[in-house]
Every structure is written in structure tokens, then in C-alpha cells.
Chain A
Amino acid sequence: MSGVAQAPAERPPSARERPGPRPQTGLRRTVAAMLRKELQVELRTLESVPAMTLFSLSTFVIFHFALNRGSVEGDLGAGILWVTLLFASILGVNRLFVADAEEGGFDGFLLAPVERSAMLIAKVLTLLAYLAALELIALPAFALLLLGTPLGPALPGLILTLALADVGVAVIGTLVAAMAVRTRARDLLGPLLALPLFVPIVIGAARASAPLLAASHPTWPALRWLATLGLYDLLFGLIAYALFDFLLED
């Protein structure tokens, strides 16, 4: 294994990023390097984001036929949007650490003299990028295929809700993926662990976006749902930060 921690995508190691004799590389640089590696791997393999996007599109179609409705709004619309986004994000969560576990990425990272939290932060940012890419396509598709009200006026509130919920999904998803990836039944355990932890996010996000998607007089969501989402993000951010190191050592 070369001295560079980024295992699956070998890029020419530049002298600047080689850990070298210094004991610790700066956290920000490590995170940036890992994030770049993750996005590069995703761009080359196109493994997660296209699958998540396709999955969400098929789910919208399935909802159309299952509900037998041409358009949805309000509570129902918010529910469909969030169920679809969460299940699509599960696909990304399941694949998040697979390359590291199978191709030796963990070993390389552990050998490098960098802080362990760098991996957590980089993976959370990666998952956030995946989710943003997913929503960039899934949200217009939802508006086009199912939504009965115009998307435009709801957009600012929806983007805020999406951002808050995505942070929670990314943090919980990363923690759960790291927990599940080195078990024998990782494809089963990931969703099983993640879904109950996602429930408060669904509550906050669906209640926040329901009034935005209402058929008549779309209104700004109540502040308490956004506050719930923010608090949940903060709490799980702290938990993940405190516990992630224990999942890496060995």
C-alpha cells in the first residue's frame, strides 16, 4: 500500500499530500483530500447517485399507480416526497463504506497519521453531496410528475427544510453505514438500523413541508419543526463525533 490514505482511486500522489514524517496533517486538508477522493471515485464509477436518482423516479411512478392519483398536495405530497427521498438515501448509505471495506481503504486510512474524525466529516460531506445531487433531480421530477401545486413559491422553505433534514440523514447515515459495513449482513442491517433513527427526521421534515405544498394558501412551516430538525442534527452530530473513532480502530 502506498503512503497515501486514499486507496480505491489511486491518483498520482503529490508531495504536498503525502503524510510524510510530520505527525499530523491538518484536519481541514485531510477532509478536503478525502472528499475529493470520494467525489472522484463516484464520478468515475457512477455507483450511488444515478442509482438513487433512478430509484426515486421509479418510486414516484409507483406512488402514482399505488395511490391511483394524478396529483398530490399538502400532507400526502410531503409524505410521498419524504418517503421517496429517505428510501433513496438508504441506497447511498448502504454503498457509502463498501469500497473502503473491500478495497482496503480503512487500512490505508488507519495507517495514515491523520485524525480519525476526518473520515467522519468527509463521509458526511460526501453523503450530503449525494443527497443534494439526488434532490436536484428528484424535486423537479416530483413537481412535474405528482405535485398538484406550483413548486416555485414553496421553493425557499422547501430548500431550508431539505438542508436541515439532509444534514441529519447524512450524519445518521454515515454512523449507521460505518456500523453495518463490517458485519456479515450489512445490506440488511444498514436499513434496519437507519429507519428508526430517521423517524424524527420524517416527522420534522414532513410536517414542515406539508403547509408549503398545500393546495390553497401555501404557508411557511411552523418554526418548531425546523427547530426540531436542527436540534436533532446537532445532537446526532455530537454523538457521531464522539463515537465514530470507536468504529474504526482495529
Chain B
Amino acid sequence: MYGKGLRALSISTVVAMTTALALVFFYAPLEAEQGFLQKIFYVHVPLAIVSLCGFVLGGLLAIQHLRTRDPRWDMRSYVAIHMSLIFALATLITGSIWAKGSWGHWWVWNEPTLVSYLIIFLLYATYQPLRFAIEDPERQSRYASVFAITAGAFVPMNFIAVRLSTAYLHPRVLGSTSNLPGPMALTFLVSLAAVALLYATLCKYELTAKHTRAQVRALRRRLSGETARPRGGRSAAPAAPPVKVAPAGRTAP
């Protein structure tokens, strides 16, 4: 049931990614000042937007978890943040490459978006250690949700504070889609949709994999006739909720 729609989602992601890349390389015009280098914009900015939305989404799912106490929401929140962390790492790397190419430095402190992004990344990098350090699964999920909500609210606040602190040394020509010429704006929007689809697909894959693994474990336990066994080893990932195994033809002795 968790794999439902996975194939359709994967196919649409592949199509969207292909379209986006084709548009980036063959349709979008070369930017006058930066030339070919500017194409990284179509990867970097969507990655950044999607990962930030993913962090906030993780916080919203965590609110749902604290309200309902349903471990499935915790699992979703964990997957959203986990995947956003990976996207955030990619954002920082592509951002560094872009900064090196256009400003000549791998890192610039007067670009507020870059700096606030790094702070948020550093904060979320403690999410997994926090989970890992709490052994009781119920408390682990509760504390992780508290963290996810706090950090999710921190994301916009941090952007405001850092932006206030930085003078606008670099004109923000590529700040929003409103001042992009038509073909560039179209390419950007398609890339954004493609990256968002990629995020959704990867999240769904991870959720499906976790549930499948839990299901397999439950089945194996039934086969060996054990009723309950603690999970082997500690993990930063939440335990998948117990799966009801469909009754087979004959039951284990």
C-alpha cells in the first residue's frame, strides 16, 4: 500500500527532469554577463527552495505528530527533514561553485542567502545526532518533533535576521522570477517543478523502503515463531510502526 503511486511518481519525475535539463541547455538563452555559468542557477535555486520548504514541511508534520501522537507523522517528518538535509548539502555545494565562478571566492559572507542557509544547515545537522542520542523510541520521536517545530520556525526568522545584517553589495538580478526574461522564467519554473517532484519521489521511496523493511521483519519474526523482539541496534531513524501481517494459510506454531 505504501508503494502505491510510486511508479507514476517516478516516471513523472524522470520526464520532468529530462524536460528541465533540455530546457536549461537548449532553450534558455545564455546570460549576458555570466554566460554558461549562470545555468547552475536552474539547479541551485530550485534545490534551495525545495529544501527550505522541506524543512518547514518537516515542522508542520511534527506539529501533526504532537497533536495526534501517531508515529506515522513522526516518520514522515523524519523523512522530510532527512531528504531536505541531502538537498541542502547539494545546495551548499552548487552555491559554492556558483560563487567561485561569478565572484571568484568559494565562500562570500556578504551574500545573506548563502549565510543564512549555512546556519540553517548547521542547525538541522544536529537533528540526527539528537535522535541518535535518545534511546526510548517514544521519547525520541517526541523530542525530535519539538526540535523540528522549533527549527522550522527558525528558518524564516533566521533569513530575516541575516538579511538585515548584510548590506546589499551584490545587485540581486536573479532574485525573483519577476525580473527574469520569459524563456528563463519558464525554464526556472520547470526546473523548480522537476526538483520538487524529485524530492517527493525520494521521500516516498524512503517511506516505502522503511515500511517494507518493517513488514519483512515482522514476517520473518512470525516465521521463526518469536512474538516480540526489540529492534536490533539503535538508530537515528524512527522505528516504522508495527505492521499488521496478513494472516497466511497456516499460522506459526
Q: Which residues of B contact A197 (CB under 8 A)?
A: 123, 150, 154
A120 to chain B, nearest CB (A): 12
Q: Is A183 an interface residue (CB 8 A)?
A: yes
Contact residues, A141-195 vs B (CB, 8 A): 175, 179-180, 182-186, 188-189, 192-193, 195
Q: Is B161 an interface residue (CB 8 A)?
A: yes
Q: Is B122 an interface residue (CB 8 A)?
A: yes
Contact residues, B9-32 vs A (CB, 8 A): none
Stretch at the interface among A8-16, A59-67, A94-102, A200-208: A200-208
* Residue ID in chain A nearest B162 by CB atoms: A203
Complex alpha-carbon distance, A207 and B142, angstroms: 36
* Residue ID in chain B nearest A229 by CB atoms: B161
- The interface bits of chain B over 110-153 (1 if a CB of A lies within 8 angstroms of the residue's CB, else 0) are 00000000011011001001100111101100110111011001
Interface size on B, residues (CB 8 A): 30
Q: Which residues of A contact B138 (CB under 8 A)?
A: 250
Contact of B139 among A182, A192, A204, A232 (CB under 8 A): A182
Query: Do most interface residues of chain B lie in helix, strand or loop, or is the interface mixed?
Result: helix
Stretch at the interface among A31-39, A44-52, A106-114, A239-247: A239-247
Q: Which residues of A contact B164 (CB under 8 A)?
A: 203, 224-225, 228
* Residue ID in chain A nearest B115 by CB atoms: A199
Q: Is B240 an interface residue (CB 8 A)?
A: no
Complex alpha-carbon distance, A184 and B135, angstroms: 8
Q: Which residues of B contact A195 (CB under 8 A)?
A: 122
Contact of A193 among B126, B142, B149, B157 (CB under 8 A): B126
Q: Is B165 an interface residue (CB 8 A)?
A: yes
Chain A to chain B contacts (Cβ below 8 Å), 28 pairs: A175-B150, A182-B134, A184-B134, A185-B129, A188-B129, A193-B123, A193-B147, A195-B122, A196-B120, A196-B154, A199-B119, A199-B158, A200-B158, A200-B161, A200-B162, A203-B161, A203-B162, A203-B165, A207-B165, A228-B161, A231-B157, A235-B153, A239-B149, A239-B150, A239-B153, A243-B150, A247-B146, A249-B142
